[in-house]
């Protein structure tokens, strides 16, 4: 599972139109974007675009947590870390 972009992924608003970029700390080098899509039916809202951005940004931590779960089994530390990750997603 070492083929993804390493680092602390962050979701950051771009402007005030509900657009977000996902990057690893260098805003000038985003590797993903989310944005509202008013042409899609049903429309993708700014709130949904924000939630999607934060979900994408949480992916590396979720993958690491899942790997620990598979290797070590469930424990209280994993439970608390999972709650912390879920709280970052609006």
Residue 34: count of CB within 10 angstroms of its CB: 24
Write out the chain's pLDDT in tens, 90 residues: 567 777 788 888 888 778 888 888 766 677 788 877 767 667 777 888 888 889 999 998 888 888 888 888 888 888 888 888 888 888
């Amino acid at each position: 599972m070492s083929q993804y972009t390493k680092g602390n992924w962050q979701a950051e608003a771009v402007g005030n139109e509900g657009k977000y970029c996902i990057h690893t700390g260098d805003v000038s080098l985003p590797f993903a974007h989310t944005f509202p899509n008013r042409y899609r039916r049903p429309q993708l809202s700014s709130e949904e675009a924000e939630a999607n951005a934060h979900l994408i940004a949480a992916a590396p931590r979720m993958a690491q947590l899942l790997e620990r779960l598979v290797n070590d089994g469930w424990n209280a530390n994993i439970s608390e870390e999972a709650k912390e990750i879920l709280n970052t997603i609006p």
